[in-house]
Amino acid sequence: MQHERATRPASFAITCLALALAIGFAGTAQAGVLPEDRADLLYFRYDGGGVTIDGPSVLVRKSIGEHVSVQANYYVDMVSSASIDVETSASPYEDERTQGSLSLDLLHGKSTYTLGAVKSDESDYVANTVFAGVSHDMFGDLTTISFGYKRGQNDVFRNINIGGVKQRDLTFAEEMETQSFNISVAQIITKNLLMTGQYEVITDEGFLRSPYRSIRHFTDPLNQQLAPEQYPNTRSSNAASFRAKYFLPYRAAIDTMYRYYNDTWGIVGHTGELGYVHPLNNNKWIFEGRLRYYRQTAADFYRDIFPRAEFANFMARDKELATYDAITAGVTATYEFKIERLPWLAKGSLNLRYDYMTVNYDNFRDARFSIGRFGQLPDAPLAPGTEPLYKLNANIIQFFVSAHF
Amino acid sequence: MKMSIRGLSVIAAALLVAGCSSIEPWVAPYDRENLADPIMTFSRAPISQDFLDHVFESREGSRGATGGAGGGCGCN
Protein backbone atom coordinates (compact mmCIF):
# COMPACT_ATOMS: atom_id res chain seq x y z
CA MET A 1 0.00 0.00 0.00
CA GLN A 2 2.80 2.34 0.97
CA HIS A 3 4.67 1.42 -2.21
CA GLU A 4 1.59 1.90 -4.37
CA ARG A 5 0.98 5.34 -2.84
CA ALA A 6 4.54 6.34 -3.59
CA THR A 7 4.43 5.24 -7.24
CA ARG A 8 1.26 7.15 -8.15
CA PRO A 9 2.80 10.63 -8.04
CA ALA A 10 5.88 9.27 -9.83
CA SER A 11 3.83 7.84 -12.71
CA PHE A 12 1.85 11.09 -12.91
CA ALA A 13 5.13 13.04 -13.10
CA ILE A 14 6.42 10.81 -15.92
CA THR A 15 3.14 11.23 -17.84
CA CYS A 16 3.29 15.01 -17.41
CA LEU A 17 6.94 15.16 -18.43
CA ALA A 18 6.32 13.08 -21.57
CA LEU A 19 3.36 15.24 -22.57
CA ALA A 20 5.29 18.43 -21.78
CA LEU A 21 8.21 17.38 -23.97
CA ALA A 22 5.88 16.29 -26.78
CA ILE A 23 4.00 19.58 -26.63
CA GLY A 24 7.22 21.58 -26.43
CA PHE A 25 8.73 19.99 -29.53
CA ALA A 26 5.46 20.33 -31.42
CA GLY A 27 5.90 24.14 -31.30
CA THR A 28 5.08 25.90 -34.53
CA ALA A 29 7.04 28.65 -36.25
CA GLN A 30 4.97 31.46 -34.74
CA ALA A 31 6.41 32.52 -31.37
CA GLY A 32 4.68 32.80 -27.99
CA VAL A 33 5.06 35.72 -25.60
CA LEU A 34 7.25 36.14 -22.51
CA PRO A 35 5.78 37.80 -19.40
CA GLU A 36 6.15 41.60 -19.36
CA ASP A 37 9.07 43.32 -17.61
CA ARG A 38 8.02 44.86 -14.30
CA ALA A 39 9.17 45.71 -10.79
CA ASP A 40 6.97 45.78 -7.67
CA LEU A 41 7.65 46.92 -4.13
CA LEU A 42 5.05 45.85 -1.53
CA TYR A 43 4.51 46.57 2.16
CA PHE A 44 1.95 44.32 3.90
CA ARG A 45 0.47 44.05 7.36
CA TYR A 46 -1.75 41.28 8.76
CA ASP A 47 -3.33 41.94 12.15
CA GLY A 48 -5.74 39.45 13.68
CA GLY A 49 -6.21 36.83 16.41
CA GLY A 50 -3.33 38.27 18.46
CA VAL A 51 -0.89 37.88 15.56
CA THR A 52 0.76 40.76 13.72
CA ILE A 53 2.79 40.04 10.58
CA ASP A 54 4.31 42.79 8.48
CA GLY A 55 7.16 43.27 6.06
CA PRO A 56 8.28 44.15 2.57
CA SER A 57 8.35 42.15 -0.63
CA VAL A 58 10.23 43.04 -3.82
CA LEU A 59 9.59 41.41 -7.18
CA VAL A 60 11.57 42.11 -10.37
CA ARG A 61 11.02 40.52 -13.76
CA LYS A 62 13.35 41.33 -16.67
CA SER A 63 13.79 39.91 -20.16
CA ILE A 64 17.23 39.04 -21.47
CA GLY A 65 16.96 39.07 -25.26
CA GLU A 66 13.82 37.73 -26.92
CA HIS A 67 13.75 34.25 -25.45
CA VAL A 68 14.67 34.51 -21.77
CA SER A 69 12.98 36.20 -18.81
CA VAL A 70 14.31 36.19 -15.24
CA GLN A 71 12.26 36.80 -12.09
CA ALA A 72 13.59 37.44 -8.57
CA ASN A 73 11.58 37.91 -5.37
CA TYR A 74 12.69 38.79 -1.86
CA TYR A 75 10.17 38.70 0.98
CA VAL A 76 10.41 39.30 4.73
CA ASP A 77 7.78 38.32 7.35
CA MET A 78 8.16 39.90 10.78
CA VAL A 79 5.89 38.01 13.17
CA SER A 80 4.77 39.09 16.61
CA SER A 81 2.53 36.41 18.04
CA ALA A 82 0.27 36.06 21.04
CA SER A 83 -2.26 33.86 19.23
CA ILE A 84 -4.80 31.78 21.15
CA ASP A 85 -2.50 28.72 20.88
CA VAL A 86 0.39 30.74 22.31
CA GLU A 87 -1.78 32.25 25.07
CA THR A 88 -2.97 28.85 26.31
CA SER A 89 0.31 26.93 26.16
CA ALA A 90 3.37 29.20 25.72
CA SER A 91 4.84 32.72 25.91
CA PRO A 92 4.46 35.48 23.31
CA TYR A 93 7.23 35.43 20.71
CA GLU A 94 8.70 37.40 17.85
CA ASP A 95 10.28 35.86 14.76
CA GLU A 96 11.37 36.76 11.26
CA ARG A 97 11.12 34.75 8.07
CA THR A 98 13.02 35.67 4.92
CA GLN A 99 12.29 34.14 1.54
CA GLY A 100 14.18 34.53 -1.72
CA SER A 101 13.26 33.05 -5.07
CA LEU A 102 14.77 33.05 -8.54
CA SER A 103 13.15 31.70 -11.69
CA LEU A 104 13.93 31.55 -15.37
CA ASP A 105 11.45 31.43 -18.28
CA LEU A 106 12.71 30.18 -21.62
CA LEU A 107 10.57 30.75 -24.73
CA HIS A 108 10.86 28.22 -27.55
CA GLY A 109 8.28 28.55 -30.32
CA LYS A 110 4.92 28.49 -28.61
CA SER A 111 6.24 26.82 -25.47
CA THR A 112 7.56 28.49 -22.33
CA TYR A 113 9.78 26.43 -20.03
CA THR A 114 10.18 27.53 -16.41
CA LEU A 115 12.82 26.57 -13.87
CA GLY A 116 13.14 28.06 -10.39
CA ALA A 117 14.13 27.73 -6.76
CA VAL A 118 12.86 29.19 -3.46
CA LYS A 119 14.65 29.37 -0.11
CA SER A 120 12.78 30.26 3.06
CA ASP A 121 14.56 30.74 6.35
CA GLU A 122 13.29 31.28 9.89
CA SER A 123 14.76 30.45 13.28
CA ASP A 124 12.95 27.08 13.55
CA TYR A 125 12.08 26.20 9.93
CA VAL A 126 14.22 26.08 6.78
CA ALA A 127 12.55 25.26 3.45
CA ASN A 128 14.23 24.68 0.08
CA THR A 129 12.02 24.26 -2.99
CA VAL A 130 12.76 23.70 -6.67
CA PHE A 131 10.16 23.82 -9.42
CA ALA A 132 9.87 23.27 -13.17
CA GLY A 133 7.06 23.75 -15.64
CA VAL A 134 6.09 24.06 -19.27
CA SER A 135 3.18 25.87 -20.91
CA HIS A 136 2.17 25.76 -24.55
CA ASP A 137 -0.20 27.89 -26.66
CA MET A 138 -2.28 25.93 -29.15
CA PHE A 139 -5.42 26.02 -31.33
CA GLY A 140 -4.56 29.43 -32.79
CA ASP A 141 -3.57 30.66 -29.31
CA LEU A 142 -7.09 30.04 -27.98
CA THR A 143 -5.79 27.46 -25.51
CA THR A 144 -2.82 27.40 -23.15
CA ILE A 145 -1.99 24.13 -21.43
CA SER A 146 0.56 23.99 -18.59
CA PHE A 147 2.23 21.33 -16.46
CA GLY A 148 4.23 21.99 -13.31
CA TYR A 149 6.24 20.04 -10.76
CA LYS A 150 7.54 21.26 -7.39
CA ARG A 151 9.67 19.54 -4.77
CA GLY A 152 10.43 20.89 -1.31
CA GLN A 153 12.82 19.74 1.40
CA ASN A 154 12.10 21.23 4.82
CA ASP A 155 14.04 21.11 8.09
CA VAL A 156 11.96 21.56 11.25
CA PHE A 157 13.55 22.77 14.49
CA ARG A 158 12.22 23.85 17.89
CA ASN A 159 13.06 26.99 19.85
CA ILE A 160 13.14 26.96 23.64
CA ASN A 161 13.32 29.75 26.15
CA ILE A 162 16.27 29.49 28.55
CA GLY A 163 16.69 32.32 31.03
CA GLY A 164 14.52 34.60 28.90
CA VAL A 165 16.66 33.97 25.81
CA LYS A 166 15.16 32.20 22.80
CA GLN A 167 17.46 29.54 21.40
CA ARG A 168 17.27 26.41 19.26
CA ASP A 169 16.66 23.11 21.09
CA LEU A 170 19.67 21.06 19.97
CA THR A 171 17.92 17.79 20.88
CA PHE A 172 15.19 18.33 18.26
CA ALA A 173 15.58 18.19 14.45
CA GLU A 174 13.02 16.74 12.01
CA GLU A 175 12.50 16.69 8.24
CA MET A 176 9.57 17.02 5.88
CA GLU A 177 9.45 16.51 2.11
CA THR A 178 6.70 17.76 -0.18
CA GLN A 179 5.96 17.26 -3.88
CA SER A 180 3.37 18.93 -6.08
CA PHE A 181 2.11 18.11 -9.58
CA ASN A 182 -0.26 20.42 -11.41
CA ILE A 183 -1.93 20.73 -14.78
CA SER A 184 -3.88 23.76 -15.98
CA VAL A 185 -5.74 24.84 -19.09
CA ALA A 186 -6.61 28.43 -20.04
CA GLN A 187 -9.22 28.78 -22.76
CA ILE A 188 -10.65 31.70 -24.73
CA ILE A 189 -14.37 30.97 -24.98
CA THR A 190 -15.63 34.13 -26.72
CA LYS A 191 -14.13 37.55 -27.47
CA ASN A 192 -15.27 38.59 -23.96
CA LEU A 193 -14.90 35.41 -21.90
CA LEU A 194 -11.83 33.59 -20.55
CA MET A 195 -11.88 30.37 -18.52
CA THR A 196 -9.19 28.37 -16.73
CA GLY A 197 -9.20 25.00 -15.02
CA GLN A 198 -6.47 23.69 -12.74
CA TYR A 199 -5.80 20.43 -10.90
CA GLU A 200 -3.04 19.93 -8.35
CA VAL A 201 -1.89 16.93 -6.33
CA ILE A 202 0.34 17.56 -3.31
CA THR A 203 2.02 14.86 -1.23
CA ASP A 204 3.84 15.40 2.07
CA GLU A 205 5.98 13.00 4.02
CA GLY A 206 7.79 13.45 7.33
CA PHE A 207 7.19 15.63 10.39
CA LEU A 208 3.88 17.38 9.64
CA ARG A 209 2.78 18.82 13.00
CA SER A 210 3.88 21.87 14.93
CA PRO A 211 6.55 21.11 17.55
CA TYR A 212 4.79 23.56 19.91
CA ARG A 213 1.04 22.95 19.75
CA SER A 214 -0.85 20.76 22.24
CA ILE A 215 -4.09 18.84 22.37
CA ARG A 216 -6.18 18.88 25.54
CA HIS A 217 -7.95 15.93 27.15
CA PHE A 218 -10.21 15.34 30.13
CA THR A 219 -8.66 13.98 33.32
CA ASP A 220 -12.15 13.95 34.89
CA PRO A 221 -15.42 15.63 33.81
CA LEU A 222 -14.36 19.00 35.28
CA ASN A 223 -10.60 18.99 34.65
CA GLN A 224 -8.29 18.88 31.66
CA GLN A 225 -4.62 18.47 30.79
CA LEU A 226 -2.44 19.40 27.80
CA ALA A 227 -0.42 16.82 25.81
CA PRO A 228 1.65 16.90 22.59
CA GLU A 229 -0.19 16.50 19.27
CA GLN A 230 0.28 13.25 17.29
CA TYR A 231 0.02 13.44 13.46
CA PRO A 232 0.31 10.92 10.62
CA ASN A 233 3.60 11.30 8.75
CA THR A 234 2.01 11.37 5.27
CA ARG A 235 -0.63 13.54 3.63
CA SER A 236 -1.88 13.59 0.02
CA SER A 237 -4.30 16.18 -1.30
CA ASN A 238 -6.26 16.91 -4.49
CA ALA A 239 -7.42 20.39 -5.45
CA ALA A 240 -9.38 21.30 -8.58
CA SER A 241 -10.30 24.88 -9.43
CA PHE A 242 -12.23 26.67 -12.13
CA ARG A 243 -12.06 30.40 -12.97
CA ALA A 244 -13.91 32.57 -15.44
CA LYS A 245 -13.53 36.25 -16.31
CA TYR A 246 -15.97 38.25 -18.44
CA PHE A 247 -15.42 41.64 -20.10
CA LEU A 248 -18.48 43.85 -19.59
CA PRO A 249 -19.72 46.17 -22.40
CA TYR A 250 -18.82 49.40 -20.51
CA ARG A 251 -15.13 48.39 -19.93
CA ALA A 252 -15.22 46.62 -16.63
CA ALA A 253 -14.67 42.96 -15.77
CA ILE A 254 -16.34 40.42 -13.51
CA ASP A 255 -14.74 37.15 -12.44
CA THR A 256 -15.58 34.07 -10.41
CA MET A 257 -13.66 31.13 -8.96
CA TYR A 258 -14.55 27.82 -7.32
CA ARG A 259 -12.11 25.30 -5.82
CA TYR A 260 -12.84 21.82 -4.47
CA TYR A 261 -10.30 20.25 -2.10
CA ASN A 262 -9.93 16.91 -0.33
CA ASP A 263 -7.09 15.04 1.35
CA THR A 264 -6.18 11.79 3.07
CA TRP A 265 -6.69 13.42 6.48
CA GLY A 266 -10.43 13.73 5.77
CA ILE A 267 -10.57 17.48 5.13
CA VAL A 268 -12.98 18.62 2.40
CA GLY A 269 -12.82 22.28 1.47
CA HIS A 270 -14.88 24.58 -0.78
CA THR A 271 -13.61 27.99 -1.86
CA GLY A 272 -15.70 30.48 -3.85
CA GLU A 273 -14.74 33.96 -5.00
CA LEU A 274 -16.35 36.85 -6.87
CA GLY A 275 -14.51 39.90 -8.18
CA TYR A 276 -15.30 43.10 -10.05
CA VAL A 277 -12.81 45.49 -11.72
CA HIS A 278 -13.83 49.00 -12.80
CA PRO A 279 -11.55 51.66 -14.39
CA LEU A 280 -12.49 55.34 -13.95
CA ASN A 281 -11.32 58.77 -15.13
CA ASN A 282 -9.77 57.75 -18.46
CA ASN A 283 -8.08 54.69 -16.89
CA LYS A 284 -6.08 56.70 -14.34
CA TRP A 285 -7.95 54.95 -11.53
CA ILE A 286 -8.86 51.27 -11.32
CA PHE A 287 -11.07 50.01 -8.49
CA GLU A 288 -11.50 46.36 -7.63
CA GLY A 289 -13.85 44.63 -5.17
CA ARG A 290 -13.50 41.00 -4.11
CA LEU A 291 -15.52 38.62 -1.93
CA ARG A 292 -14.20 35.19 -0.91
CA TYR A 293 -16.02 32.41 0.95
CA TYR A 294 -14.27 29.35 2.38
CA ARG A 295 -15.65 26.33 4.23
CA GLN A 296 -13.97 23.12 5.35
CA THR A 297 -14.77 19.99 7.34
CA ALA A 298 -12.42 18.84 10.10
CA ALA A 299 -9.60 16.31 9.81
CA ASP A 300 -10.58 12.80 10.99
CA PHE A 301 -8.21 13.02 13.97
CA TYR A 302 -9.15 16.54 15.08
CA ARG A 303 -11.05 17.18 18.33
CA ASP A 304 -11.39 20.29 20.44
CA ILE A 305 -10.99 18.15 23.58
CA PHE A 306 -10.24 14.41 23.71
CA PRO A 307 -12.02 12.09 26.20
CA ARG A 308 -8.75 10.85 27.70
CA ALA A 309 -4.98 10.71 27.22
CA GLU A 310 -3.82 8.35 24.45
CA PHE A 311 -7.39 8.23 23.11
CA ALA A 312 -6.17 7.54 19.54
CA ASN A 313 -2.94 7.08 17.58
CA PHE A 314 -3.40 10.47 15.91
CA MET A 315 -4.71 13.49 17.80
CA ALA A 316 -4.73 17.14 16.71
CA ARG A 317 -6.12 20.42 18.00
CA ASP A 318 -4.87 22.76 15.27
CA LYS A 319 -7.73 25.14 14.42
CA GLU A 320 -6.55 24.93 10.79
CA LEU A 321 -7.84 21.31 10.87
CA ALA A 322 -11.21 22.17 12.52
CA THR A 323 -14.60 22.64 10.84
CA TYR A 324 -15.12 26.33 10.07
CA ASP A 325 -16.10 28.92 7.51
CA ALA A 326 -14.42 32.18 6.59
CA ILE A 327 -15.45 35.26 4.65
CA THR A 328 -12.92 37.75 3.26
CA ALA A 329 -14.00 41.02 1.63
CA GLY A 330 -11.46 43.31 -0.03
CA VAL A 331 -11.14 46.49 -2.07
CA THR A 332 -8.20 47.73 -4.15
CA ALA A 333 -7.60 51.24 -5.49
CA THR A 334 -4.96 51.68 -8.22
CA TYR A 335 -3.69 55.00 -9.57
CA GLU A 336 -1.79 54.67 -12.85
CA PHE A 337 0.69 57.28 -14.11
CA LYS A 338 3.42 57.98 -16.66
CA ILE A 339 6.45 60.23 -16.16
CA GLU A 340 7.56 62.04 -19.32
CA ARG A 341 11.14 62.43 -18.07
CA LEU A 342 11.39 58.65 -17.72
CA PRO A 343 10.67 57.35 -21.24
CA TRP A 344 11.77 53.81 -20.28
CA LEU A 345 8.87 53.65 -17.80
CA ALA A 346 5.90 52.43 -19.84
CA LYS A 347 3.51 52.69 -16.88
CA GLY A 348 3.69 53.12 -13.12
CA SER A 349 1.01 52.54 -10.49
CA LEU A 350 0.32 53.16 -6.80
CA ASN A 351 -1.92 50.52 -5.21
CA LEU A 352 -3.71 50.23 -1.89
CA ARG A 353 -5.55 47.03 -0.97
CA TYR A 354 -7.55 46.35 2.19
CA ASP A 355 -9.13 43.00 3.14
CA TYR A 356 -11.21 42.11 6.18
CA MET A 357 -11.32 38.43 7.14
CA THR A 358 -13.70 36.83 9.61
CA VAL A 359 -13.45 33.15 10.63
CA ASN A 360 -16.13 31.27 12.59
CA TYR A 361 -15.12 27.90 14.06
CA ASP A 362 -17.74 25.17 14.55
CA ASN A 363 -15.68 22.95 16.86
CA PHE A 364 -12.74 24.97 18.18
CA ARG A 365 -13.56 26.48 21.57
CA ASP A 366 -11.93 29.47 23.22
CA ALA A 367 -9.94 27.53 25.84
CA ARG A 368 -8.74 30.78 27.45
CA PHE A 369 -12.03 30.68 29.42
CA SER A 370 -10.89 27.47 31.17
CA ILE A 371 -7.07 27.32 30.84
CA GLY A 372 -6.44 31.07 31.12
CA ARG A 373 -3.67 33.09 29.48
CA PHE A 374 0.09 32.57 29.83
CA GLY A 375 -0.33 30.31 32.87
CA GLN A 376 -2.74 32.65 34.73
CA LEU A 377 -6.12 31.04 35.45
CA PRO A 378 -9.24 33.14 34.68
CA ASP A 379 -11.14 34.65 37.66
CA ALA A 380 -14.15 32.40 37.02
CA PRO A 381 -12.94 29.42 34.92
CA LEU A 382 -15.51 27.59 32.81
CA ALA A 383 -15.66 23.79 32.68
CA PRO A 384 -13.60 22.29 29.81
CA GLY A 385 -15.72 21.80 26.70
CA THR A 386 -18.27 24.49 27.69
CA GLU A 387 -16.28 27.54 26.53
CA PRO A 388 -17.73 29.74 23.74
CA LEU A 389 -16.69 28.89 20.17
CA TYR A 390 -13.66 30.83 18.93
CA LYS A 391 -13.97 33.56 16.27
CA LEU A 392 -11.13 35.32 14.50
CA ASN A 393 -11.22 38.71 12.75
CA ALA A 394 -8.25 40.08 10.82
CA ASN A 395 -7.34 43.27 8.96
CA ILE A 396 -4.99 42.84 5.98
CA ILE A 397 -3.44 45.91 4.36
CA GLN A 398 -1.16 46.02 1.32
CA PHE A 399 0.45 49.07 -0.25
CA PHE A 400 2.53 48.57 -3.37
CA VAL A 401 4.21 50.47 -6.17
CA SER A 402 4.52 48.87 -9.61
CA ALA A 403 6.63 49.88 -12.60
CA HIS A 404 6.18 48.38 -16.06
CA PHE A 405 9.08 48.72 -18.54
CA MET B 1 -6.93 9.74 -7.10
CA LYS B 2 -5.76 6.99 -9.50
CA MET B 3 -8.84 7.49 -11.64
CA SER B 4 -8.35 11.27 -11.63
CA ILE B 5 -4.76 10.97 -12.84
CA ARG B 6 -5.75 8.51 -15.59
CA GLY B 7 -8.60 10.80 -16.63
CA LEU B 8 -6.31 13.82 -16.75
CA SER B 9 -3.74 11.94 -18.82
CA VAL B 10 -6.42 10.95 -21.36
CA ILE B 11 -7.71 14.55 -21.61
CA ALA B 12 -4.17 15.90 -21.97
CA ALA B 13 -3.33 13.29 -24.64
CA ALA B 14 -6.54 14.13 -26.54
CA LEU B 15 -5.65 17.84 -26.45
CA LEU B 16 -2.17 17.02 -27.69
CA VAL B 17 -3.41 14.93 -30.60
CA ALA B 18 -5.99 17.56 -31.50
CA GLY B 19 -3.23 20.20 -31.32
CA CYS B 20 -1.35 18.45 -34.14
CA SER B 21 -4.19 19.15 -36.55
CA SER B 22 -5.04 22.62 -37.82
CA ILE B 23 -8.02 24.19 -36.02
CA GLU B 24 -9.56 27.43 -37.19
CA PRO B 25 -9.69 29.81 -34.17
CA TRP B 26 -13.31 30.79 -33.52
CA VAL B 27 -12.12 34.06 -31.94
CA ALA B 28 -9.81 35.69 -34.50
CA PRO B 29 -6.67 37.49 -33.25
CA TYR B 30 -8.13 40.88 -34.28
CA ASP B 31 -11.21 40.11 -32.12
CA ARG B 32 -9.20 39.73 -28.89
CA GLU B 33 -8.88 43.42 -27.99
CA ASN B 34 -11.12 43.07 -24.93
CA LEU B 35 -9.31 39.93 -23.74
CA ALA B 36 -5.93 41.71 -24.05
CA ASP B 37 -7.13 44.57 -21.81
CA PRO B 38 -5.05 44.62 -18.56
CA ILE B 39 -8.27 44.49 -16.49
CA MET B 40 -8.86 40.97 -17.92
CA THR B 41 -5.71 39.56 -16.29
CA PHE B 42 -6.67 37.06 -13.58
CA SER B 43 -4.02 38.46 -11.23
CA ARG B 44 -3.18 42.09 -12.03
CA ALA B 45 -0.45 42.19 -9.34
CA PRO B 46 1.32 38.84 -8.75
CA ILE B 47 3.24 40.23 -5.75
CA SER B 48 -0.03 41.03 -3.97
CA GLN B 49 -1.73 37.77 -4.94
CA ASP B 50 1.26 35.68 -3.79
CA PHE B 51 1.10 37.35 -0.37
CA LEU B 52 -2.66 36.76 -0.01
CA ASP B 53 -2.33 33.12 -1.18
CA HIS B 54 0.28 32.68 1.57
CA VAL B 55 -2.09 34.23 4.16
CA PHE B 56 -4.89 31.83 3.20
CA GLU B 57 -2.71 28.74 2.80
CA SER B 58 -1.10 29.16 6.21
CA ARG B 59 -4.52 29.45 7.91
CA GLU B 60 -6.64 26.95 5.96
CA GLY B 61 -6.61 23.18 5.57
CA SER B 62 -6.99 23.48 1.78
CA ARG B 63 -4.02 24.09 -0.48
CA GLY B 64 -3.12 24.06 -4.17
CA ALA B 65 -4.74 24.90 -7.53
CA THR B 66 -4.64 28.64 -6.80
CA GLY B 67 -1.87 29.67 -9.18
CA GLY B 68 -2.50 31.33 -12.49
CA ALA B 69 -3.04 28.97 -15.36
CA GLY B 70 0.37 29.94 -16.74
CA GLY B 71 1.01 31.49 -20.08
CA GLY B 72 -2.05 33.77 -20.01
CA CYS B 73 -4.62 33.76 -22.73
CA GLY B 74 -2.22 33.97 -25.66
CA CYS B 75 -3.92 37.18 -26.78
CA ASN B 76 -1.05 39.68 -26.60
Name A388's Cβ contacts closer than 8 Å, sequence gap at least 6.
A365, A366, A369
The structural domain count of chain B equals: 1
CB atoms within 10 A of CB B7: 11
Q: Which of A277, A293, A391 to mutate to test the interface with B (most CBs of B within 10 A)?
A: A277
| CB nearest to B64's CB, from A73, A180, A396 | A180
DSSP-derived 3-state class of residue A377: coil
DSSP-derived 3-state class of residue B41: coil
Q: Is A310 on the interface with B (CB under 8 A)?
A: no
Average pLDDT over residues A275-282: 92
Q: Which of B48, B49, B56, B57 to mutate to test the interface with A (most CBs of A within 10 A)?
A: B48
Q: Is A237 on the interface with B (CB under 8 A)?
A: yes
Give the per-residue pLDDT at B10.
Answer: 59
- The minimum CA-CA distance between A188 and chain B, rounded to whole Å, is 7
Q: Return d(Cα B46, Cα A307) in angstroms, integer.
A: 46
Residue type, A81: S
Residues in chain A within 8 Å Cβ distance of B40: 194, 245, 247, 253
In tens, the pLDDT along B20-62 reads 455 678 888 888 899 999 999 998 899 999 999 999 998 999 9
Residue of A nearest to B26 (CA): A190
- Report the candidate in A215, A202, A385 with the shortest Cα–Cα distance to residue A302: A215
Tell me the angle at which helices B2-20 and A2-25 cross, rounded to the nearest 10 degrees: 10
Beta bridge partners of A395: A47, A356
Q: Return d(Cα A254, Cα A304) in angstroms, integer.
A: 40
Domain of residue B55: give its range: 33-60
Q: Model pTM?
A: 0.86
Q: Return d(Cα A314, Cα A230) in angstroms, integer.
A: 5
In tens, the pLDDT along A316-341 reads 999 999 999 999 999 999 999 999 89
Q: What percent of chain A shows pLDDT beyond 70?
A: 92
Give the largest Cα separation in chain A, rounded.
76
Architecture of the domain defined by A2-404: Beta Barrel (2.40)
Q: Is B3 on the interface with A (CB under 8 A)?
A: no
Residues in chain B within 8 Å Cβ distance of A112: 70-71
Parallel, antiparallel, or unpaired: how do β-strands A223-228 and A268-280 relate? unpaired
Q: Is A358 on the interface with B (CB under 8 A)?
A: no
pLDDT band at A33 (very low <50, low <70, confident <90, very high): confident
- Report the candidate in B48, B69, B39 with the shortest Cα–Cα distance to residue A245: B39
Contact across the interface for B67 and A198, Cβ inside 8 Å: yes
| CB nearest to A253's CB, from B9, B40, B61 | B40
- The minimum CA-CA distance between B22 and chain A, rounded to whole Å, is 7
Give the per-residue pLDDT at B28.
Answer: 87
Give the per-residue pLDDT at A236.
Answer: 98
Contact across the interface for B1 and A136, Cβ inside 8 Å: no
Residues in chain B within 8 Å Cβ distance of A332: 48
Give the per-residue pLDDT at A86.
Answer: 86
Q: In this model, does residue B11 exceed pLDDT 90?
A: no
- Render A109-164 in DSSP notation, one character per residue: TTEEEEEEEEEEEETTEEEEEEEEEEEEEETTTTEEEEEEEEEEEEEEEEEEEETT
Average pLDDT over residues A228-255: 96
Assigned domain for B9 exists: no
Give contacts of A 110-169 with B, CB under 8 A. 112, 114, 133, 135-146, 148
Contact across the interface for A185 and B63, Cβ inside 8 Å: no
Contact across the interface for A326 and B60, Cβ inside 8 Å: yes
Which carries the bigger pLDDT value, residue A270 or residue A86? A270
Q: Is B21 on the interface with A (CB under 8 A)?
A: no
Give the per-residue pLDDT at B69.
Answer: 35
Q: Return d(Cα A316, Cα A309) in angstroms, integer.
A: 12
Q: What percent of chain A shows pLDDT beyond 90?
A: 80
Q: Return d(Cα A205, Cα A9) in angstroms, integer.
A: 13
Q: In this model, does residue A249 exceed pLDDT 70?
A: yes
DSSP-derived 3-state class of residue B42: coil
Residue of A nearest to B2 (CA): A8
